[in-house]
Structure 1
Amino acid sequence: MIHPYDESRREDVGEFLLRQRVFASLNRQTPEAFRDENLTDFEADGTVSLVFEERGIIAVADLLKQHPVDGSLWLGLFMVDERLYGTGIATRLYEQLEHVYMRPFQTVFRLGVLPHNERARRFWERQGYVYEKGSVTTRGDRVHVMKKIVEGKARSDRG
């Protein structure tokens, strides 16, 4: 099940993030710094943070529904428990995320992938994303911006 993140999930999400040592290493962070940065992002205004649970937390996601510069939806974080890599669950969870939390609001999706994270790049390409351009994060990390355009009309939040 997908649940919106709230303060009551902070401790469990923090423990989940600490276990994601591969992802923290790819980000050149200690597990603690990785946890702290992502908990801060989850608690910031302007994003929709989600927790995927199935007998415990198995994934988290953080969405910016409308980027202030390009107007598209940005997937800031989508992380599946590294113990589940290679099982196909990431694809199933992403499909759920896209259909329930992304497509109703936008038709253009973007995300950033670290250039040295080949596994992630291949995953996103299988989901229909293509390389758009290089960029630099607010933390100073180089990323490859990937973009996906879906057909259909997004629901207007203006009524």
Structure 2
Amino acid sequence: MKHFNTVDFPSIHIRLLDGNNEADLVIFKEFLLRTKEYFTDYLVAEPTDEQVKEFFTSLPSNTTPSQKYMYGIFDRDRLMGFIDWLEDYPQKETGTLGYFVLEDEYRRTKLAQELYSALEKTVSDTGTKNIRLTFIENDKRAARFWEKQGYKAISTYDGDYGKQLVVEKIIG
């Protein structure tokens, strides 16, 4: 999945980020530092270059780098969000949304909904039938957003940041 369907906001564009491109790593690190309320680990210490690169390279077992896509969401030239997508995981025709993060000023807006809709259309066009994602179970804002999108809980587990809720949506 290389091409991302566009959204109807003139200043917004989406492109693949490259973890081997120094400029992409720099702007991604700047984004992480601006969104510390989401990436709480970085409240204590600035992420190292290795931690930044890990966003691009970390994969679950039984997957390959060719299944992973990191999309930068830009408002003009400023990275204001990103989407981490894993194709055909945990099984064929199911994709996993690792991250769908926007800076605070863009959350709870029409743009957030439109970006998600564009993602869903894009992955559907590639043959994906189900989308799966995980979030902290007591994150009410995330729960409301994903429930509005039609996601249903399928399981829970204890993770590094507390109880995690795994949700899935059938799209095709």
- Normalising by the smaller structure, the TM-score range is 0.7 to 0.9
**Deviation string for 1:85-139 (max 9, x for gaps)?**
2222111111111212x112311110001112110111011111111110245x5
1:22 aligned counterpart, secondary structure: coil
| Letter of the 1:24 counterpart | F
Instruction: Tell me the TM-score normalized by structure 1.
Output: 0.80
1:106 has 2:128 as partner: yes
Deviates more, 1:85-94 or 1:30-39: 30-39
Seen in structure 2, the aligned counterparts of structure 1 residues 105 and 38 have a Cα distance that, compared at 3 Å, is farther
- State the match for 1:154 in structure 2: none
Q: Is the 8 A contact 1:17 1:35 kept in 2?
A: no
State the identity as a percent: 24
Amino acid corresponding to residue 82 of structure 2 in structure 1? V
Partner of 1:40: 54
CA contact (8 A) 1:3 1:52 kept: yes
Higher normalized contact order (CA 8 Å, seq sep 6+, divided by chain length) = 2
**TM-score normalised per structure 2:** 0.74
Moved over 6 A (4+): none
2:42 is aligned with what amino acid? T
Tell whether 2:99 aligns with 1:91.
no
Q: Which amino acid aligns with 2:14?
A: I
Q: Is 1:51 aligned to 2:65, yes or no?
A: no
State the match for 2:104 in structure 1. Answer: 82
Aligned to 2:16: 4
1:141 Cα deviation (Å)?
4.7
Asked whether the 8 Å contact 2:28–2:52 carries over to 1, the reply is no
Q: Residues 37 and 76 from structure 1, CA distance in 2 versus in 1: closer, same or farther, beyond 3 angstroms?
A: farther
CA drift of 1:3 comes to 0.4
Structure 2 segments unaligned to the other structure (5+ residues) = 1-12, 59-64
Residues of 1 paired with 2:105 and 2:17: CA distance? 22
> How many residue pairs end up in the alignment?
145
Over 3 Å counting, the alpha-carbon distance change for 1:75 and 1:39 in structure 2 is same
User: Please, what is the CA RMSD of the aligned residues?
Assistant: 2.2
Distance in 2 (alpha carbons) for counterparts of 1:111 and 1:47 = 14
Asked if the contact 1:17–1:34 (Cα under 8 Å) also holds between the matched residues in 2, the reply is no
Partner of residue 39, structure 2: 24
User: Is 1:115 matched with 2:137?
Assistant: yes
- Give ranges in structure 1 of 5+ residues lacking alignment: 152-159
